[in-house]
């Protein structure tokens, strides 16, 4: 059956590939962005632009645009990567990553939770770099901290939304050749979106709150 899918950061990278994939499956896609790219504009997605997910008015605009819409799948994909090294830490880049990578997906999920259909799913696109156990190389303070915080939020969301029948997946895409990492990765954005979608399709209330690699491996916190 055709689904209604809402994707943040849908104008490029993995988010755009998600949009194209779900459209190909015959689903209705709402592509959320600050400004639509040509690729998103020509994709057939319904565009909700002018949404900066770190701004209260952006999230309010998103919720207002989706009034009366039943959401089957929300993909919180928008994110940023900055770099900090010990000795030259910049609190502003760390703060910006918290705002975008941790707080925004939580607040977007809360703002849209009244729109969730029965058995809706929420996907949080996190990173393996948010795994504390997996960290053997240090650095990347703001990104690692913000994705670890997102993972913690994802676990709480899975518990809080379970009674409503809503399942939550916490997903690492793999190393994906997007602008975020300079275009060189192990996977193309299309391959990453395909694998992540397989994980979302498999998600159940029983497995809700698990931290997965897109290859199906369960990752350590
Ligand atoms: P890109 O940099 O290609 O895309 C990031 C997207 O997020 C863009 O659409 C961007 O919009 C949007 N975005 C960023 N900040 C905001 C904001 N404040 N409001 C609205 N939209 C915003 O990155 P990827 O496609 O690679 O990343 C997608 C997700 O995957 C991210 O959460 C990232 O952390 C995660 N990830 C990616 C990996 C990789 O190897 N690429 C590895 C692990 C995780 P705009 O065009 O307006 O800037």
The model's pLDDT over 40-82, given as tens digits with 9 standing for 90+, comes to 999 999 999 999 999 999 999 999 999 999 999 999 999 999 9
Pocket of ligand 1 (CB under 6 A): 9, 11-15, 33-34, 52-54, 77-81, 100, 125, 127, 172-173, 175-176, 178-181, 185
Name the region of 2 (left: φ>0; alpha: ψ -120 to 50; beta: rest): beta
Angle, CA 55 vertex, CA 172 and CA 117 arms, to 5°: 60
Range 192-221 average pLDDT: 98
Closest Cα to atom 41, ligand 1: which residue?
176
Q: Give me ligand 1 centre to Cα 176, in Å.
A: 11
- Integer Cα distance of 133 and 117 in angstroms: 35
Name the region of 68 (left: φ>0; alpha: ψ -120 to 50; beta: rest): left
Q: Give me ligand 1 centre to Cα 124, in Å.
A: 12
pLDDT band at 1 (very low <50, low <70, confident <90, very high): confident
- Does pTM top 0.85 for this prediction? yes
Q: Give me ligand 1 centre to Cα 77, in Å.
A: 6
- Integer Cα distance of 166 and 120 in angstroms: 5
Domains annotated for the chain, with CATH where assigned, are: 4-213 (3.40.50.720)
Query: What proportion of the chain, given as a percentage, has pLDDT over 90?
Result: 100
Closest Cα to atom 34, ligand 1: which residue?
79
């Amino acid at each position: 059956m055709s689904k209604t899918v809402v994707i943040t950061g849908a104008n490029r990278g993995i988010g755009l590939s998600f949009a194209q994939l779900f459209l190909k499956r015959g689903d209705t896609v709402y592509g959320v962005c600050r400004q639509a790219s040509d690729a998103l504009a020509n994709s057939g997605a319904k565009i909700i632009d002018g949404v900066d997910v770190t701004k209260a008015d952006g999230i309010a605009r998103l919720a207002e645009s989706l009034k009366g819409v039943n959401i089957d799948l929300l993909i919180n994909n928008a994110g940023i990567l900055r770099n900090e090294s010990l000795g030259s830490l910049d609190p502003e880049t760390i703060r910006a990553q918290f705002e975008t990578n941790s707080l925004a997906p939580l607040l977007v999920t809360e703002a849209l939770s009244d729109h969730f259909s029965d058995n809706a799913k929420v996907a949080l696109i996190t990173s393996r770099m948010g795994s504390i156990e997996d960290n053997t190389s240090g650095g990347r303070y703001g990104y690692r901290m913000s994705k670890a915080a997102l993972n913690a939020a994802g676990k709480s969301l899975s518990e809080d939304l379970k009674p409503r029948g809503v399942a939550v997946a916490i997903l690492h895409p793999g190393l994906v050749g997007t602008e975020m990492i300079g275009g060189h990765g192990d996977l193309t954005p299309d391959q990453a979106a395909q694998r992540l979608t397989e994980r979302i399709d498999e998600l159940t209330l029983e497995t809700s709150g698990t931290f997965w690699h897109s290859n199906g491996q369960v990752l350590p916190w």
